[in-house]
Amino acid sequence: MSDVKRVYNFNPGPGVLPLEVLQEAQAELLDFKGTGMSVMEISHRSKEFESVIQTAEADLRELLGIPSNYKVMFLQGGATLQFTMLPMNLRPAGASADYIVTGSWSKIALKEAKKLGAARAAATTEADGFNGFPASLDLDPKAAYLQFTSNETIHGVEYFSEPTPPAGVPLVCDMSSDFISHPIDVSKYALIYAGAQKNAGPSGTTVVIIRDDMLERVPENLPVMLDYKTLAASGSLHNTPPSFAIYMVGLVFKWAKKQGGLAAIEKINRTKADLVYQAIDESGGFYRGHAKPEARSLMNIPFRLPSEELEDTFAKEAKKADLIGLKGHRSVGGMRASIYNAMTVEGTQALVKFMKEFQKKNG
C-alpha cells in the first residue's frame, strides 16, 4: 500500500472512508471468507451474506444502543427516497406532519412530504440564511410526526440535543450526515434514517431504524419496495439488497467499535472541529464561518473568504496541496470542510496549517 497515493479528502458525500476499511475490503475482494468469490458475487441468501448483514446490524445496535423494540433496515434509494417513504408509511390519511426546516435538506424533505398530503414547517430559519436554530417552534399537537435534520450538510448546522415534540407526537430524524458521529438516545426517536455515504460507508444503502409501533401505521397495499412493514419483516431481504454497500457499512461499524465507540469518536470529532473553528475565529475576519457558534456542526464546516476570487484561489491551491473537496455548495458559496469520522486529526491539522499559510500570503 505504501506506493499508493492517498489525499486528504474533505468531500461532503460520498465522503472519506477509513483506510483500514478500504484495505480490509481490498484484501477480501477476490476471495470472501474462503468462497473463492467476492462478496459482490455471492448469493444474498447464502450463509456468508447472512452473516454480513446480521453482523452489520448487531454492531450498529451495539454502537447506538438500539433498544430491542426497534427494527434496523438497509434500504436503497438514498435518504431522498425516505423523504417520500416516511410520509407514505407514517402519516395517516388526512393527517399532517411537522418539519423543522434548518437548511436545504429539511426544506427538500418538507417539499416532498407536501406532494403526497399535508405537511407544514413548524419553524424555518431560511430568512436568516439557515445559519442556526429556530428561536421557537410552532408545533402541531396532532401532527403525525415531527421531523428534524440533525445535521444540515450544506449549511453546517447541527443539533446536539433533540427538539422535544408535543406529547404523543413521534420524533423522526434525517441523520444522514452525522450518523454514528456521537452517541444518541435512540429511545427518543420513532424513526431515524441516514444515507450511508456521508459518514457510514459508500452510497447505495440507507439505514432506517424504526420503532415497532410505527409499523402498525403502515397502510395496506403500498408498493412493496416502499412498504416499511414488508421490508422490516424480511430483514431487508425482500429483494436483492445492495450487498456490497451493506458489507462496507458493516466494516465501518466494526471500525467504529474499534475506535472505542461513539463517545470516543465524538471526542476526536470535537478535537478536529475545534481546530478548524479556532482557525476561523482567530483569523481576524479573513475566514468567516456560516453557522452561529451554538449551532456549529462537527461534521461540515462552511466558511467564506473576503472575495470569491480568493475562494477560487483557495480551492485551487488546496487541491495542489492534496486537500480535496473543499469547495462549498453553490447555495452557500465559499468553502466547506467536511470532516467526517474517517477524517484524521492529522488531515485536519494539514487543513488548518494550509488555512494559516494562505491567510499569511493573501490576508
Stretch that binds ligand PLP, among 42-50, 170-178, 289-297, 353-361 (CB under 6 A): 170-178
Q: Which is nearer to ligand PLP, 177 or 236 (CB)?
A: 177
Stretch that binds ligand PLP, among 48-56, 60-68, 174-182, 217-225 (CB under 6 A): 174-182
Which residue in the set 21, 79, 110, 157 belongs to the binding site for ligand PLP (CB under 6 A)? 79
Label residues 163-175 b or e (16+ Cβ within 10 Å = b). Answer: bebeeebbbbbbb
Label residues 141-150 b or e (16+ Cβ within 10 Å = b). Answer: eebbbbbbbb
Q: Which is nearer to ligand PLP, 101 or 355 (CB)?
A: 101
Please state the closest distance from residue 143 (CB atom) to ligand PLP, in A: 20
Does 149 help bind ligand PLP (rule: CB under 6 A)? yes
Does 13 help bind ligand PLP (rule: CB under 6 A)? yes
Nearest residue to 13 (alpha-carbon basis) of 80, 97, 67, 69: 80
Q: Which of 59, 98, 140, 174 is catalytic?
A: 174
d(CA 54, CA 174): 23
Nearest residue to 205 (alpha-carbon basis) of 246, 251, 250: 246
Q: Which is nearer to ligand PLP, 32 or 105 (CB)?
A: 105
Does 198 help bind ligand PLP (rule: CB under 6 A)? yes
Nearest residue to 106 (alpha-carbon basis) of 186, 165, 193: 193
Q: How far from 4 is each of 10, 20, 235, 347, CA to CA, in Å?
A: 19, 14, 38, 17
Please state the closest distance from residue 21 (CB atom) to ligand PLP, in A: 19
Q: Which is nearer to ligand PLP, 55 or 203 (CB)?
A: 203
DSSP 216-259: TTPPTT--GGG-HHHHHHTTT-SS---HHHHHHHHHHHHHHHHT
Which residue in the set 59, 112, 140, 174 belongs to the binding site for ligand PLP (CB under 6 A)? 174
Let me know: does 70 contact 165? Beta carbons within 8 Å: no
Q: Which is nearer to ligand PLP, 327 or 358 (CB)?
A: 327
Which residue in the set 153, 199, 243, 348 belongs to the binding site for ligand PLP (CB under 6 A)? 153
Which residue in the set 105, 228, 340, 358 belongs to the binding site for ligand PLP (CB under 6 A)? 105
Please state the closest distance from residue 275 (CB atom) to ligand PLP, in A: 22
Does 140 help bind ligand PLP (rule: CB under 6 A)? no
Q: Which is nearer to ligand PLP, 173 or 280 (CB)?
A: 173
Let me know: does 325 contact 153? Beta carbons within 8 Å: no
d(CA 307, CA 302): 15
Label residues 81-92 b or e (16+ Cβ within 10 Å = b). Answer: bbbbbbbbbbbe
Q: Which is nearer to ligand PLP, 125 or 149 (CB)?
A: 149
Does 80 help bind ligand PLP (rule: CB under 6 A)? yes
Peptide bond into 14 cis (omega under 30): yes
Please state the closest distance from residue 179 (CB atom) to ligand PLP, in A: 9
Please state the closest distance from residue 93 (CB atom) to ligand PLP, in A: 26
Nearest residue to 200 (alpha-carbon basis) of 112, 78, 113, 293: 78
Q: Which is nearer to ligand PLP, 78 or 306 (CB)?
A: 78
Q: What amino acid is encoded at 363 in this protein?
A: G
Does 177 help bind ligand PLP (rule: CB under 6 A)? yes
Please state the closest distance from residue 11 (CB atom) to ligand PLP, in A: 12
The answer to whether 198 is a known catalytic residue is yes
Does 176 help bind ligand PLP (rule: CB under 6 A)? yes
Please state the closest distance from residue 174 (CB atom) to ligand PLP, in A: 5
Q: Which of 198, 229, 272, 327 is catalytic?
A: 198
Q: Provide CB contacts within 8 A for 296, sequence distance 6+.
A: 156, 157, 158, 273, 277, 289
Interior angle at CA 231, CA 13 and CA 208, nearest 5: 35
Task: Tell me the three cell numbers of residue 332.
Answer: 452557500
Catalytic residues: 105, 174, 198
The residues that touch ligand PLP, with contacts defined as CB under 6 A, are 13, 78-80, 105, 149, 153, 174, 176-177, 195, 198
